[in-house]
A and B are shown apart, each in its own frame.
Chain A
Amino acid sequence: MKTAGTSEIENCEQRLPVSAAAWRLSEIKFHFGSWTLMLLLALAVVIAASMGAVRIPPKEIVSMLLNQIGIAHLPRTWSESHETIILQIRLPRVLAAALVGGALSVAGTLFQGLLRNPLADPYVIGTSGGAALGATLGLLISTHVSILGFGVVPTLAFAGALCTAAVSYRLSRIGGRTSVVTLLLAGFALSVILSYSMSLLLILNDQLQLNLRALYSWLLGGISVTSWAQVEVLAGLVSVGCAGAFAIGRSLNAMSLGDEMAESLGIRVERQRAVVLALGSLLTAAAVIGGGLIGFVGLIVPHAMRLVFGPGHSRLLLLSAVAGAAFLVVADLLSRILIAPNELPVGILTAIIGGPIFLYLLRRSKSEYRF
C-alpha cells in the first residue's frame, strides 16, 4: 500500500526543498491578496451605501449594520428615515451589485478555464443572445406579473440565457463527446441568430419601438434589484453557483492540459465539462436577472486576477468572486451618482473604468502575458 508513516512525512517536511519555500511564499501572497480584496469589498459596500441623494455618514451605516446583524447594540444616533434609506433602498441594491459582479467574474473564470480561450466571457456560449431575446419578449408582453419578486423582463431573460446555454451544449455534443471548438462556434452562431431575431422583432413591432430606450438601457446593463426578496433569490442562485465552482476549481487545472491528459489524471472529463458549463450558465443567468447584460466584468476581472496572482483555478475563482463584487459595487455607485438624479447604464462604466485598469495591468506585467 502507498501509505507513508508519519516519520517519512516529517523527514520530508524537514528537508524543506526550495520549491516548498516558494510555495509558502505564494500561499502568503494569496492570503494577503484575498483579505485585502475582501476588505476593499466591505469598504466599497459601505461607501456605496453612504452616497446618493442623501449623504449618510459611513459611521452610521456601520453602526446600523452591526445592530442589524446582532453583533452589537449601539444606541441609535441616526434618524429613522436614514435607517429606512439604508436598509430598505440602498443596501439591497449595493448587495445585488456585489452578487452580480461576483457571479459574472466567476462565470468568466470558469468559461476561460474550460474553453482555454482568453476571449471567453460569461456570454460566450450564446447566453447574451438568448437573454436579449427573452427580455424583448418580456417587454412585448409587458404584464405586471412578478415571479419570485422579479418582473417579466428579467425572468424571461433568465430563462432565455439558460435555454440558449443548454442548446449550445446539445449542439456541441457529437457521438457522446463535446468539442470545445464546436461549442464556441455554436455559441457564437446562436448568439447572432438570437440577437438578430430580436432586431427583427424590434423593426416589425410598433409597440416595442416605444420601449426602445428601456430595451437599450437593459442591454447595456444596470442593477434593477430593489427589494430584499429579489436579493434573496439572487443570493441563492449565486451561492449555489459559486459553491459549485469552488468545489470543482481544481479540476479545471487538470482539464487545461487537454482531455486525454485530464482523463489519465483520473478526471471524468465529459461529466466535469457538463458540470462546469451548467455552473457557469447558472451564474450568468443569475447576473442577467439582477442586472441585464453587463459586459466586460466577466472578461477582465479573471484576467486581472490571473495577472496578479497566477493561473491556479482554485485560488483564481475565489479572488475573482471578491474582486468582481467590489468592482461592480463601485461601478454601480458611479452609475447612480455621476448624472444624478438620472442613472447611467452600468455597462458603460464597467467598460470605461475597467478597460484602462485592465490595459494598465497588461502592460505592467514584466514579461509577456501568456494567459
Chain B
Amino acid sequence: MSAIRLDQVSFAYNGRPVLAGLSLQVTTGERLALLGPNGSGKTTLLKLVSGILIPSDGRVLINERSPHSIPRRELARTIGMVPQEFVVPFSFTVREIVELGRTPYVGSLGSYRPIDRCRIDEAIETTGITHLSNRIFNELSGGERRRVMIAMALAQEPEILLLDEPTQQLDISRQGEVLDLVSELNVSKGLTIVAAIHDLNLAARYFERLVMLDGASVAADGTPETVLKPHFLQKVYGGPIEVRVAPHGSPPVVLPIPRSVAVERKS
C-alpha cells in the first residue's frame, strides 16, 4: 500500500510556481530522501504531505485519503513532522516539549493518562535524551534539540515521519547519530520516512531511495547508484561535480570539483 501518493501536484507561492505536475509514490515502511538544489521545493513538498499547504492542482493522498478530508487530530496521529528548527519563545523543559507530541491524543481539558505518560517516556528513551529531560530546550545544542524534536514527533505515534533537513548545522558525528536514529525507527518500528536532505553523501549512505527534485518536478528517482551520476548532478546543480564510485557496494561519494582542478583537467 502506498503511504503517500502525489498525483500531478502543483503548487505556487504568490504566483511563483514551486512544484508543477509532480507525481510520487511512497510505500509504507519505505525510507526516502528528498534531494534537490535550494528552492527546488523540498520543504514545500513536505508541507503538502503534512496538510499544512493545499496543492493548487492535483491531489495528495495519505493512506489513500486526502489529508484535508481527515480531521486534524487524526492526521496528527498519522504524520509526525520534524521541522528544520523551531523557535520556542518560552523556557519549556525538554519533557514539556516532548509532551506536546501527545496533543492529538489528549483533550484540552483532560490531563495525561498513564498511556500518555508511557508514550512520552518511551519517546524520550528511544531518542536517548533521558539525561536531558529536565533541561531547558532552548539551552541545548543543535544535535540535542534535533533529538528532542524527533522525540516529540514520536510521541505522536505516527506512521509517517517527515523530516526537513534533520542534519543541518550538525557536526559530522551528530549528523550520523541523528540519521542512525531515523534509520532505526524505520527498521524497528516500521515508520515510513521522508527526509529532505541537502547533503548528497549522507543521503546516499543512509537512504535506500533518493528522489531528486529539479525544475518543479521529480528529475530522478531510484537507488543512490542510479541517481548520483556526474552529468545529471552537474545539470541539476549547475557546477562541476565528481562522483567517486566506492568499492564493495558502498554508496558513491559526491564531491565538487575545485575550479583550479577543473581548469587543469581541461588543458
Docked-complex contact B157 and A2, CB < 8 angstroms: yes
Docked-complex contact B124 and A261, CB < 8 angstroms: no
> Could you say which residues of chain B place their CB within 8 Å of the CB of A263?
51-52, 72
B76 lies within 8 A of chain A by Cβ: yes
> Could you say which residues of chain A place their CB within 8 Å of the CB of B72?
263, 266-268
> Could you say which residues of chain B place their CB within 8 Å of the CB of A265?
76, 100-101, 103-104, 156
> Could you say which residues of chain A place their CB within 8 Å of the CB of B75?
266
Distance of B127 from chain A, by nearest CB (Å): 12
B172 lies within 8 A of chain A by Cβ: no
Distance of B153 from chain A, by nearest CB (Å): 9
Docked-complex contact B95 and A22, CB < 8 angstroms: yes
Q: Which of B112-120, B179-187, B192-200, B226-234 interfaces with chain A? A: B112-120
**A257 and B100 in contact, given A8-B118, A22-B133 (Cβ under 8 angstroms):** yes
B residues 134-174 with Cβ under 8 Å of A?
134, 136, 138, 156-157
Residue of B90, B104, B121 touching A266 (CB-CB under 8 A): B104
> Could you say which residues of chain B place their CB within 8 Å of the CB of A311?
90-92, 96
Q: Which of B34-42, B79-87, B257-265 interfaces with chain A? A: B79-87
B73 lies within 8 A of chain A by Cβ: yes
> Could you say which residues of chain A place their CB within 8 Å of the CB of B124?
17, 19
Residue of A9, A22, A251 touching B115 (CB-CB under 8 A): A9
A residues 277-303 with Cβ under 8 Å of B?
none
Docked-complex contact B118 and A13, CB < 8 angstroms: yes
Docked-complex contact A256 and B108, CB < 8 angstroms: no
Q: Mask for A7-24, Cβ within 8 A of B = 1, else 0?
A: 011001101011110110
Nearest B residue to A269 via CB reads B72
Docked-complex contact A250 and B103, CB < 8 angstroms: yes
A90 lies within 8 A of chain B by Cβ: no
State the main secondary structure of chain A at its contact with B. Answer: helix
Docked-complex contact A248 and B108, CB < 8 angstroms: yes
Distance of B209 from chain A, by nearest CB (Å): 23
Q: Which of A4, A15, A19, A23 lies at the interface centre, i.e. has the most chain B CB atoms within 10 A of its CB?
A: A19
Docked-complex contact A261 and B86, CB < 8 angstroms: yes
Distance of B56 from chain A, by nearest CB (Å): 14
Distance of B163 from chain A, by nearest CB (Å): 12
Q: Mask for B209-231, Cβ within 8 A of A = 1, else 0?
A: 00000000000000000000000
List residues of B whose CB falls within 8 A of some A CB: 47, 50-52, 72-77, 79-81, 83, 86-93, 95-96, 100-101, 103-104, 106, 108-109, 114-115, 117-118, 120-122, 124-125, 130-131, 133-134, 136, 138, 156-157
The 6 closest A-B pairs by CB, nearest first: A266-B76, A266-B104, A19-B133, A311-B90, A12-B118, A266-B73
List residues of A whose CB falls within 8 A of some B CB: 2, 4, 8-9, 12-13, 15, 17-20, 22-23, 116, 246-251, 253-254, 256-258, 260-261, 263-268, 306, 310-312, 370-371
> Told that A9-B118, A253-B92 touch, could you supply 8 new A-B pairs with CB distance under 8 A?
A4-B118, A251-B103, A256-B89, A257-B88, A260-B47, A261-B86, A266-B75, A371-B91
Provide a sorted-by-A list of 18 A–B residue pairs whose CB atoms are within 8 angstroms.
Answer: A12-B118, A19-B121, A19-B130, A19-B133, A22-B133, A246-B109, A256-B88, A257-B100, A260-B52, A263-B52, A263-B72, A264-B52, A266-B73, A266-B75, A266-B76, A266-B77, A268-B72, A310-B96
